[in-house]
Amino acid sequence: MHDWWNGPCRPLDELSREQALQRQAQLTKPQGALGQLEHLAVQLAALQGCARPQVERVHVSVFAGDHGVVAEGVSAYPQSVTGEMLRNFVRGGAALSVLARRLDAPLEVIDLGTVEPLQLDGVSHLRLGPGTANFAREAAMSDEQLRLALAAGRDSARRAAGRAAQLFIGGEMGIGNTSSASALAAALLPRSPLMLVGPGTGLDHGGVRHKLEVIQQALRLHGGHCSGPLETLRRLGGFEVAALTGAYLACAQLGIAVLVDGFICSAAALCAVRLNPACRPWLIFAHRSAEPGHLAVLQALDAAPLLDLGLRLGEGSGAALAVPLLQQACALHNEMATFAEAAVSDRLA
């Protein structure tokens, strides 16, 4: 199969960026007074190829999959929660479901492989396997499973493009996936897992220490074989992490701005950027989560997150919470009067 993720990403529209910058300089405010909101409006203009960008059509995809490493006792919740939450997503009771509803955004739910086979209305069941293998003892995925998971993300981005989405949000659900994200971050940065591993769904101090030991064991097992980001993702990743990676890469190729959620999604973004660095300008980072490893990943990606609310829920919820900021940045950029229009005196030369 062709390594489609290496394909060219859409270039930014420098003319639209310049036009947006010129407009910002003419609006009735001191230059720079709206801080990061100004940068967001200009960035979105360059991404959308439009001097007056909008964020009205948002596409949300949540990817789910189980993790074999849960057998090592790295989670405070039973593995059955992954499947139970899929049902909660489509019934509208999950945090991301509520937020997507508020944004009037379609929410697609994609089951890449849970331990127990499911058949739920409103869920796309791809069934790549009964969860990943236990990466503390063997590679998490086969080559074929990895490629299928990446392609699942690509296909979601294509559906978003077919709906003329102006923004893509990827979410995740998978008990054990903070262990996968921590292992990926430790291998790709590289950083000591001691600085990256956190409580995930609520482990106590002893649980975090055990989780750290399991990840250290996995890094010893796979370290000599992680020859690049793709193999690292295959050995230490999860179905949903790989799907997010594929979605981010495909969005950059298709020209859809991405709002990246928390630690798990940022680990996928790190994989995407390592696979194809040209995708980086298409990634906007929604928030800094409470997981200790997230800051290291954000720093490695030179990312300035929009929010810092102590969130650690995942699902894509932090990204959904940040959408109104993007919308307000666009509204201010598009609807504020210029000095000339308002007959307000500009600053002295």
Q: Which residues pair with 338 in a beta bridge?
A: 27
Q: Which residues are catalytic?
A: 315
Residue 19 pLDDT exceeds 50: yes
CB 333 within 8 A of CB 43: no
- Residue 302: how many CB atoms within 10 A of its CB? 9
Beta strands in the chain (DSSP E): 58-65, 107-113, 123-125, 167-173, 257-260, 283-285
Cα 154 to Cα 110: distance, rounded to the nearest angstrom:
12
pLDDT, mean of residues 253-279: 98
Q: Is the pLDDT of residue 248 over 80?
A: yes
**Domain of residue 170, CATH code:** 3.40.50.10210
How many C-beta atoms surround the C-beta of residue 18 within 10 A?
Answer: 14
Is 36 within the bounds of a domain?
A: no
Over the stretch 32-77, which tens digit does the pLDDT of each residue have? 999 999 999 999 999 999 999 999 999 999 999 999 999 999 999 9
DSSP, res 98: H
β-strands 123-125, 107-113: how paired?
A: parallel
Specify the number of domains making up the chain. Answer: 1
Is residue 345 one of the residues assigned to a domain? no
- Token digits of residue 37: 């909101």
Across the chain, mean pLDDT equals 96
Would you say residue 340 lies in a domain?
Answer: no
Give which of 246, 231, 230 is closest to 63, Cα–Cα: 246
Residue 349: pLDDT band (50, 70, 90) is low
Parent domain of 207: 58-322
In a domain, 51, yes or no: no
Q: Is residue 113 part of a domain?
A: yes
| 119 in any annotated domain | yes
Mean pLDDT computed over 16-39? 96
Q: Confidence band (pLDDT; 50, 70, 90) for 14?
A: very high
2 has a pLDDT exceeding 80: no
Q: Identify the pLDDT of residue 201.
A: 86
pLDDT computed for residue 289 by the predictor: 96
The pTM of the full predicted model, rounded to 2 decimals, is: 0.97
Look at residue 1 in the predicted model and tell me its pLDDT: 46
Total residue count of the chain as it appears in this document: 349
Tell me the per-residue pLDDT of 296-317, one tens digit each, with 9 for 90 and over.
Answer: 999 999 999 999 999 999 999 9
Domain annotation covers residue 332 = no
For residue 9, the 8-state DSSP code is P
pLDDT score recorded for residue 348: 79
Contacts of 274 (CB under 8 A, 6+ apart): 188, 228, 229
For residue 17, tell me if it sits in a domain: no
Q: What is the pLDDT of residues 74-117, one digit of tens each?
A: 999 999 999 999 999 999 999 999 999 999 999 999 999 999 99
